[in-house]
Amino acid sequence: MPLPVDFHFSQHNLQDFVDCPRRFQLKYINKISWPALESEPFLEMEKQIEMGSRFHKLIHQYFSGMDPEILRGQVDDVELNIWLNNFISQKSIAIPDLRFAEYTLTAPFNGYRLLAKFDLIAINPDADVIILDWKTSRRIPPRQWLEKRAQSRLYPYLLVSSISSMIPNFKISPENVSMVYWFTDFPEQPVSFSYDNAGYQSDQIFLESMTSEISLCNDPEFRKTEDTRVCRFCVFRSLCERGDRAGNMEEFESFEDISETLSGFSFADVEEIPF
């Protein structure tokens, strides 16, 4: 079954295909909703997803110029208040003054479109650009794990390719771009990745290969993952006869993976969080 002509490739659906092509097929082509729990304990997972959403909204308001004291007055949760204070007082990242918060970029690519919603893009006078992404993980995932994520490849590539749609006639080289993951519980331990032309060329090949492979797949080629550990956190596990018991979310690398990779909720999806 072919993809719709208006299909947008995002970090979310690309990662789904990397993790399990069958999950991509069920979710995006067959559009099946399967009412299995992603993980246990369910109420804690729901709370963490809601907290992540609220935090992203607060930081968007902060960069829109809202007084931090007014923001603090909106927070009635102890942990969320800690996250907000951690962000406001953090000194680990110097954020340039030209800022684009919750900014969406989309561009034609390989017959379809690429899409990314950035938590923050910040540009300094020397045309160096920082991509910042807020993570509400209980722990910091391994650097190598973050580096391999589709988000870490799509975001800098799309920004370099499409920044002129943000700022007319403005161009940057890959060497001017860096990407920073900032963690709410670890405000002084961001994980940063520099970019360069070799990375840009590698990411273009990766994205071309991925989008071509997905668009040319026939039904039998959307195979189930061989890594059955992934199935413990997938809503389709019983449909695929991969078990009927949810995994414990403490085993997962980060709560974003539960919310974005598995449940269909994504901080990167344009329609999910209105501002």
Share of the chain above pLDDT 90, in %: 59
pLDDT (tens digit per residue) in 19-59? 999 999 999 998 887 654 444 445 566 777 888 999 999 99
Instruction: Please report the pLDDT score of residue 245 as a whole number.
Output: 57
Closest CA to 46 of 211, 262, 243: 262
Instruction: Please report the pLDDT score of residue 46 as a whole number.
Output: 72
Q: Chain-wide mean pLDDT for the chain? A: 84
Q: Are the C-beta atoms of 14 and 154 separated by less than 8 Å? A: yes
pLDDT (tens digit per residue) in 85-101? 999 999 889 999 899 99
Closest CA to 28 of 275, 217, 241: 217
Closest CA to 206 of 2, 5, 15: 15
Count of CA atoms in the C-beta half-sphere (13 A) of 48: 23
Share of the chain above pLDDT 70, in %: 83
Q: Are the C-beta atoms of 66 and 40 separated by less than 8 Å? A: no
Complete domains list, the chain, with CATH: 8-262 (3.90.320)
Instruction: Please report the pLDDT score of residue 246 as a whole number.
Output: 53
